[in-house]
Structure formats: structure tokens, C-alpha cells
């Protein structure tokens, strides 16, 4: 199997789906001639033409709004938000129009919104956020957040084929840092969790870039057997996988790169408290970013985002509990 | 106005009517924002006041607990009057959480709480399931707390000391479930000792006996009528009728072991008692033929209570010659029970359900509503044949349908 970066895998997934399904088209800021801010759509204008690779004005509301209309009449739009942070301008179209269309009108909205998210590269407060939970809270939307190249390609294809609006969070910090073997051709990755590393003493539940931070933090914690569960999909949330891990490990650390309050991990922790209480051998611990904007300054940013040492420390404390 | 008792060492700060311009001599207290006992932060509004010139809010001069309000709402007092008193330390009650201010931390909350000397849910559950006294388990967690691994290690040691169950090799350790859970595999648990014993008995019986099940429908009107007046369960009546039928057909009050069939003069009647999830036990009423319905009912009740309390003696669960099981109390209509070896038959009592049945009497056929049940008899075709099983059921049915208090 060829080894691709996370970014190349997303690009390949999109390209393959455009090749095999004429209804798939791309809209976004600078996605055409420029090939996208991160070059995900590089070369696509040349291959698919300007009717299927459309540069748009700097108006996320217009991008998503137009895409909802296209999706309702049977096309499969893939919108690129240049940065996930900018989706706030298109919030109403996504949350109130796309998310509620099926409930109100019985119409499918096979829309994919690609959201380059996450920090770790001194992007500052408008280019580093992890707004997954905004959309988890909005009924009618699916929310995906892959951590590996293979899953990024498979989940993007699954998102495009899904009849529901899907928010696809691709972590910018993984774009060129993460490489992996990626199957050729079009395939769908299930919207379920993945055991990134099996273990028995404690489970760290994470998604996106934090999966890698968690793996590194728990690689060798005084010989403890530590499981890392990669959620991959936040909506739907794979509660069976969570229960399974908690039942085996009995100690849980939930990690978010997002601001901690009401983050995806808060939902996971609440679910565990209610449904896996009888399996717990200690408090459900959370590691997350404090409720402040992400700083530009590299040392300040490091102080905010969960680091390997933070996760390791919490795991050690909980193991000793 | 109201006040709180305060410790003598408390530091009290007065809230006074402020001077709001040289010409103002007094002010009206419009409304209190805090009551006695409330926490107030420095500069937080404690009350609203009004003078002839302006309305304004009075900020608290210090953080603390409001211990006394000295002025009523709508009361006018001179500038400089004490309005309220705030205790800034050494006050009764918990500190106000706001006092600590927001804490920015990536860890929420910062570190696990101090370990209570209380077992966690998983530890308690394992201990209850396995009957472990947690006081005997050495805790290796924080402050000697018993962790999951401690109770599991204790259990492993105990099982090693006990040795494997008779006729059983020790259960292999449960395989580590590591596959991705989206296959939805449930978590395995080794069978309890009781379940293993039940499993071994049941499989052995199925392998040993030639099981057949015959089912007969019975009108329970007479039993229901007799039962209603005496507060007894249907089971006691069926037990009594079964004993009568066994005396009429002694071939079923028998045991078959190693090719030897033994008929028993005494009816030692086994009654299956469910212990819930844990399993099932069959206490035996020895010489049951000597007991009346009332006596049987009392004996069944007493054995069931003692079975559930785990207080049965070994001789009370052995020597049975015939067994009755009663799953019908949960609403089943037909079952094929497994014979309790080395006995040759087992009777299963099913739910009593009102049905429309055809009744024939002097007036001819008519449809009536009757409490009906099915008696399901599993019998060993090695020891007897179907005709005999049917005759036994017919006798039993007749006894129940024509019930007259003995």
C-alpha cells in the first residue's frame, strides 16, 4: 500500500470520489486556481474543470447556503472552510438550514463541510480552534474527526456518500506530520471508534491530534497497560466501544484539544458516569484546553493545549488512585 | 434586623451609609442585594440606596459572609450609619467557591479527589459477586485504597488456594478482548461455581436420559377456588396432587442409575427454587406424602427462604425421587424441563391463564372462561414409555380438576 500523509489521503479521497461520482463538486475560498490554502484541492481545477471546482467569495454563509441548495436537488457538494474557525459565519446555514431540513421537509442534504481545525502551530485565536462540539450540539449533523491517514480518506468518502450533512474535521497539525499506509481506491471507514492501542489498566479516550499525543504520553508509563480509544466519529458517538473499553479498563482519562467546557469529552465523560458507573475504579478524569482563546505565542500556546506531559501526569495519578 | 452568631475571633467589617456629596446628610435604603448568611465579594453590590440627589449601589468593602443587616428596606438613616456587618474570616460554614476565583488548568479538576476509604463501584461489584470481605484485601491504591487489581489479585489467590471445582479443570483465563469494539462483542465472564455445576448436571442429564416431554392441559378452576380461600399458592396443590399421582403410578417415583431402576416407596419431592441470576437449587421435601397441602405450602415456603439465604443443609438437597419446577410464575405456557438425574421424570408447572374453552355438561357444549394451565412432564424413555407418562398426567389432571379439600 502506498504511504500517504494525512493531507494527501484527504486529497486522494476527495479526488477518487469526484472521479467515480459526477455529482460530487467542491466549493470554497481559493480551492480552484490556488489549490486551497493547504493544497488539498491542488490540481483539481485542471482535472475536473471550473464547474466542479468553484472558487467562492469570502462568505461562508453563501458557500454553505448554496451547497445546501445543491445537495437538496441531488448533488454532493463538498465545501471547504479555509479554517474551521471561519464556519461561524456559515453557522445558520449549517445548523438551522442543513441540520433541520430532513426534519422539516423530509429532504436529504448530502453535504460535506471540510473543516481544517486545531492548533499547535502558532495560528492564534482565529486559526487554531476545535469547534466540534458546536455541531455535536446541533441535531441533524454528523461530526467526524479522523486521526490517521487511512481513516481520513475513508471517513471523507463515507461523509460524501452519507445522506446527512457531515462536518468533517481534519486536523491541520496532522496534515504533513502524520503518514500512513492508505489503501488504494475508494473505501468507506465506518463511523465508529477504533482501538488505537489495546490495554487493560486505563483507557485514554481522544480524537484527532490528541490521539497521537495520548499514544505518545502512554507509550511507557511504568509498565502500565494503557488503552487508547480513537473516537473517529463524535456524532454518531460509538457508545458501545466506550462502554467496552471502560468495562475492561475501569479507569478513564478523556482528552480534548478543544476548550474543555461542554467539549466532546464532556459528553463522553457524562455518558460514562451514567452508563458505566458500575465499572469505574476511579473518577473519570479530563484533560482539555482551558476556556480561553488560543495564544499566538508558542510558549503560551504550549501552556494551553494538552501536552504529552499533561496526559502522562493525569494517567499516573489515576493509575495510582 | 437579622444576624448570625459569629466567632469571637471573626474579623468584622462594617458597611456604612456613604457620604454622597457635602450637602447630603441621610440616605434611604432601597433594597438589600444580600441577606444574612450570604457570601459577598469585595466591591460586589450589597444594597441600593437613594438620596434626594441620586440613587446608587453600595459596594461591599471586603469579601466575607454577611453576618448582620442593621437597617430595614425603605428606612432612612444618617450618613455614616452602619448598614451591615461582614465577617471576613473565622466564620462558620464553608468558604464560598467564588472566593478562590477561576482557576485555569488543563486538567479538570486538578487531580483526582483524595481517595475515600470506600470501594469504587467496580470493586464493590466484584466483591459482592464473589463474596469477598474487602477488609481482607490488601489495598495498594492511594492511602491503601483497594483498587480493582487488588480485588482481582485476591480473587486469583483464593481460587488458586481452593483448587479447581470437582470434575472441572480450572477455567482458562478470559482472553484479553482487544479487537475493535465496533464488532460489538460482549465482555466474557467465567461461569460462577454454581453455574458450572448446573451446566455439568444439565448436560450430563441430556446425555444420559432419553428425554421426552408430554403436555397436558388442565382446568384449574377447582384449585383456584380452593386456593383463594386459603391464601396458598397453586404450587402446593399441584405438589399434593403429584404425590397422589405418584402413588398411583410408582413407576415415575423412581431413580435409574447404572442400568438399575429403583422404585421408591416415599415421595421425596424436589422443588426447584430460582436464586435469580446466580442459578437454581432443588431442595427436597422428604416423605412428602405425609404432608397436607397446607403442610406442603409451609415447607416449600420455608425451603425457598432458606435456599435464597444459602442456609440449606446438604441432606436437604439430595435424595429426591421426583422434581417439580415452576417457571410458570413468570408467564410461560410450555417448557421442556431437563430431568434431575438420577430421577426418571420432572413436572413443569406453567402459568395459569384464563382461556375460552369448550365445556361439556348436561346442557351440551358451551364456551366458558376457565383458568387453564399446561402440565409439562419430561420423562426418561429408558425407564418408561409414553402411555405411562400420559396416564400419570391424566391422573394428575383428574386430581386437580376434581379438587376437593382432603
Q: Does a structural domain hold residue B130?
A: no
User: What mean pLDDT do residues B8-19 have?
Assistant: 80
Task: Give residue B102's pLDDT.
Answer: 46
B282 pLDDT above the threshold of 70: yes
**Residues 175-194 (B) with a CB less than 8 A from some CB of A:** 176-182, 184-185, 187
For A203-232, what is each residue's pLDDT tens digit?
999 999 999 999 999 999 989 999 999 999
For B295-325, what is each residue's pLDDT tens digit?
999 999 999 898 888 888 888 888 999 999 9
Q: Which residue has the higher pLDDT, A316 or B329?
A: A316
- Could you tell me if B344 and B217 lie in one domain? yes
Task: Give residue B388's pLDDT.
Answer: 95
- Among the three residues B29, B64, B91, which one is the final residue of a domain in this structure? B91
Q: Does a structural domain hold residue B69?
A: yes
Q: Does a structural domain hold residue B164?
A: no
Q: Which of A198, A280, A286 has its CB closest to that of B120? A: A280
Q: Does a structural domain hold residue B196?
A: no
**CA–CA dist B351, B218 (Å, integer):** 11
Taking a C-beta distance cutoff of 8 angstroms, is the pair A271, A286 a contact?
no
User: What mean pLDDT do residues A176-189 have?
Assistant: 94
Task: Give residue A205's pLDDT.
Answer: 98
**Residues 30-59 (B) with a CB less than 8 A from some CB of A:** none
Task: Give residue B202's pLDDT.
Answer: 93
- Among the three residues B29, B59, B91, which one is the final residue of a domain in this structure? B91
B98 touches chain A (CB under 8 A): no
User: What mean pLDDT do residues B289-299 have?
Assistant: 92
**CA–CA dist B272, B326 (Å, integer):** 7
Q: Which residue has the higher pLDDT, A72 or B55?
A: A72
Task: Give residue B311's pLDDT.
Answer: 83
Q: Does a structural domain hold residue B226?
A: yes
User: What mean pLDDT do residues A97-124 have?
Assistant: 96
H or E element: which one contains A246?
helix A239-249
Q: Of A127, A137, A171, A275, which residue is the catalytic one?
A: A127
Q: Which of B104, B142, B145 has its CB closest to that of A292? A: B104
**CA–CA dist B195, B214 (Å, integer):** 27
Percent over 70 (pLDDT), chain B:
82
**CA–CA dist B326, B304 (Å, integer):** 12
Considering only B95-104, B135-144, B221-230, which range has the smallest mean pLDDT?
B95-104
Q: Which CATH number does the domain housing residue B242 bear?
A: 3.30.559.10
Q: Does a structural domain hold residue B346?
A: yes
For A226-280, what is each residue's pLDDT tens digit?
999 999 999 999 999 999 999 999 999 999 999 999 999 999 999 999 999 999 9
Task: Give residue B404's pLDDT.
Answer: 75
Residue of A nearest to B144 (CA): A321
- Could you tell me if B70 and B215 lie in one domain? no
For B240-252, what is each residue's pLDDT tens digit?
999 999 999 999 9
- Among the three residues B91, B116, B131, which one is the final residue of a domain in this structure? B91
Residue of A nearest to B145 (CA): A321
Q: Which of A238, A292, A306 has its CB closest to that of B182? A: A238
Check CB contact under 8 Å for B112 and A278. no
pLDDT band at residue B106 under the 50/70/90 scheme: low
pLDDT band at residue B188 under the 50/70/90 scheme: confident
Cis check: omega of the bond before B342, within 30 degrees of 0: yes
Look at chain B and report how many structural domains it folds into: 2
Q: Which long-range contacts (CB under 8 A, 24 or more apart) does B229-235 make?
A: B230/B293, B230/B294, B232/B293, B232/B294, B232/B297, B233/B297, B233/B300, B234/B349, B234/B352, B234/B373, B235/B271, B235/B297, B235/B300, B235/B324, B235/B326, B235/B349
B149 touches chain A (CB under 8 A): yes
Q: Complex ipTM, two decimals?
A: 0.73
In chain A the domains, ranked by start, together with CATH numbers, are 3-181 (3.40.50.970), 194-320 (3.40.50.920)
Q: Does a structural domain hold residue B36?
A: yes
Q: Does a structural domain hold residue B52?
A: yes
Bridge partners, residue A142, by sequence: A166
Q: Could you tell me how far CA A292 lies from the centroid of its own chain? A: 21
Q: List the domain range (segments joined by +) for residue B30.
A: 12-91
> How far is the CA of A158 from the CAs of A12, A44, A151, A152, B367, in angstroms?
13, 20, 10, 10, 62
Task: Give residue B347's pLDDT.
Answer: 96
User: What mean pLDDT do residues B259-282 have?
Assistant: 90
Phi and psi of A246, rounded to 5°?
-65, -40
B77 pLDDT above the threshold of 70: yes
Taking a C-beta distance cutoff of 8 angstroms, is the pair B68, B36 a contact?
yes
Q: Which CATH number does the domain housing residue B26 bear?
A: 2.40.50.100
Question: What b-and-e string marks burial along B320-332, b requiring 16 or more CB atoms within 10 Å of the CB?
Answer: bbbbbbbbbeeee
User: What mean pLDDT do residues A274-299 have?
Assistant: 95
- Could you tell me if B84 and B216 lie in one domain? no
Amino acid at each position: 500500500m502506498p504511504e500517504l500523509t494525512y493531507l494527501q489521503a484527504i486529497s486522494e479521497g476527495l479526488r477518487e470520489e469526484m472521479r467515480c461520482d459526477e455529482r460530487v463538486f467542491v466549493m470554497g475560498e481559493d480551492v480552484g486556481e490556488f489549490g486551497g490554502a493547504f493544497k488539498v484541492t491542488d490540481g483539481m481545477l485542471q482535472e475536473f474543470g471550473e464547474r466542479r471546482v468553484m472558487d467562492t467569495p469570502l462568505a461562508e454563509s453563501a458557500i454553505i447556503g448554496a451547497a445546501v441548495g445543491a445537495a437538496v436537488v441531488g448533488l454532493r457538494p463538498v465545501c471547504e472552510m479555509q479554517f474551521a474557525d471561519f464556519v461561524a459565519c456559515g453557522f445558520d446555514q449549517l445548523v438551522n438550514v442543513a441540520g433541520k431540513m430532513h426534519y422539516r421537509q423530509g429532504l436529504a442534504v448530502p453535504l460535506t463541510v471540510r473543516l481544517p481545525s486545531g492548533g499547535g502551530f502558532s495560528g492564534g485565536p482565529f486559526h487554531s480552534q476545535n469547534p466540534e462540539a458546536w455541531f455535536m450540539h446541533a441535531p441533524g449533523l454528523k461530526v467526524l474527526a479522523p486521526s490517521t491517514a487511512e481513516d481520513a480518506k475513508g471517513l471523507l468518502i463515507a461523509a460524501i456518500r452519507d445522506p446527512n450533512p457531515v462536518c468533517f474535521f481534519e486536523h491541520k497539525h496532522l496534515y504533513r506530520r502524520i503518514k500512513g499506509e492508505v489503501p488504494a481506491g475508494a473505501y468507506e471507514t465506518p463511523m465508529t471508534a477504533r482501538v488505537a492501542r489495546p490495554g487493560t489498566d486505563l483507557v485514554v479516550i481522544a480524537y484527532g491530534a490528541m490521539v497521537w499525543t495520548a499514544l505518545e504520553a502512554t507509550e511507557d508509563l511504568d509498565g502500565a497497560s494503557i488503552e487508547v480509544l480513537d473516537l473517529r466519529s463524535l456524532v454518531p458517538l460509538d457508545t458501545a466501544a466506550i462502554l467496552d473499553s471502560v468495562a475492561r479498563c475501569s479507569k478513564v482519562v478523556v482528552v480534548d484539544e478543544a476548550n474543555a467546557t461542554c467539549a466532546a469529552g464532556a459528553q463522553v465523560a457524562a455518558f460514562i458516569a451514567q452508563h458505566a458507573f458500575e465499572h469505574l475504579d476511579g473518577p473519570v478524569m479530563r484533560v482539555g484546553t482551558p476556556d480561553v482563546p488560543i495564544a499566538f505565542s508558542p510558549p503560551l500556546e504550549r501552556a494551553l493545549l494538552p501536552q504529552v506531559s499533561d496526559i502522562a501526569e493525569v494517567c499516573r495519578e489515576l493509575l495510582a488512585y | 434586623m437579622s444576624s448570625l452568631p459569629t466567632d469571637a475571633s471573626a474579623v468584622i467589617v462594617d458597611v456604612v451609609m456613604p457620604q454622597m456629596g457635602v450637602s447630603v446628610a441621610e440616605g434611604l435604603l432601597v433594597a438589600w442585594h444580600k441577606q444574612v448568611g450570604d457570601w459577598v465579594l469585595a466591591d460586589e453590590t450589597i444594597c441600593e440606596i437613594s438620596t434626594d440627589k441620586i440613587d446608587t449601589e453600595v459596594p461591599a468593602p471586603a469579601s466575607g459572609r454577611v453576618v448582620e443587616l442593621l437597617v430595614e428596606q425603605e428606612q432612612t438613616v444618617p450618613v455614616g450609619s452602619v448598614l451591615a456587618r461582614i465577617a471576613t474570616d473565622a466564620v462558620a460554614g464553608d468558604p464560598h467557591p467564588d472566593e478562590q476565583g477561576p482557576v485555569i488548568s488543563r486538567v479538570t479538576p486538578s487531580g483526582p479527589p483524595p481517595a475515600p476509604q470506600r470501594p469504587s463501584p467496580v470493586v464493590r461489584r466484584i466483591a459482592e459477586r464473589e463474596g469477598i470481605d474487602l477488609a481482607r484485601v490488601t489495598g495498594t491504591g492511594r492511602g491503601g485504597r483497594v483498587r480493582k487489581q487488588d480485588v482481582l489479585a485476591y480473587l486469583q489467590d483464593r481460587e488458586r488456594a481452593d483448587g479447581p471445582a470437582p470434575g472441572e479443570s480450572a477455567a482458562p483465563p478470559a482472553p484479553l478482548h482487544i479487537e475493535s469494539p465496533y464488532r460489538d462483542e460482549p465482555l466474557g465472564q467465567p461461569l460462577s461455581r454454581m453455574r458450572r455445576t448446573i451446566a455439568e448436571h444439565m448436560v450430563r442429564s441430556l446425555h444420559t436420559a432419553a428425554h421426552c416431554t408430554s403436555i397436558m392441559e388442565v382446568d384449574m378452576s377447582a384449585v383456584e377456588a380452593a386456593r383463594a380461600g386459603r391464601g396458598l399458592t397453586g404450587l402446593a396443590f399441584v405438589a399434593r396432587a403429584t404425590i397422589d399421582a405418584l402413588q398411583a403410578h410408582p413407576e415415575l417415583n423412581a431413580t435409574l442409575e447404572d442400568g438399575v431402576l429403583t422404585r421408591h416407596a416415599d415421595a421425596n419431592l424436589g422443588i426447584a427454587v430460582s436464586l435469580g441470576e446466580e442459578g437454581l437449587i432443588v431442595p427436597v421435601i422428604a416423605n412428602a406424602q405425609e404432608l397436607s397441602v397446607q403442610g406442603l405450602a409451609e415447607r416449600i415456603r420455608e425451603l425457598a427462604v432458606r435456599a435464597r439465604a444459602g442456609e440449606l443443609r446438604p441432606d436437604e438437597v439430595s435424595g429426591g425421587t421426583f422434581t417439580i419446577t415452576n417457571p410458570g410464575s413468570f408467564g410461560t405456557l410450555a417448557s421442556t424441563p431437563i430431568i434431575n438425574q438420577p430421577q426418571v421424570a420432572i413436572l413443569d408447572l406453567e402459568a395459569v391463564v384464563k382461556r375460552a374453552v369448550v365445556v361439556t355438561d348436561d346442557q351440551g357444549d358451551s364456551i366458558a372462561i376457565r383458568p387453564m394451565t399446561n402440565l409439562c412432564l419430561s420423562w426418561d424413555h429408558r425407564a418408561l414409555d409414553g402411555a405411562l407418562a400420559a396416564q400419570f398426567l391424566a391422573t394428575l389432571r383428574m386430581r386437580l380438576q376434581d379438587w376437593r379439600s382432603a
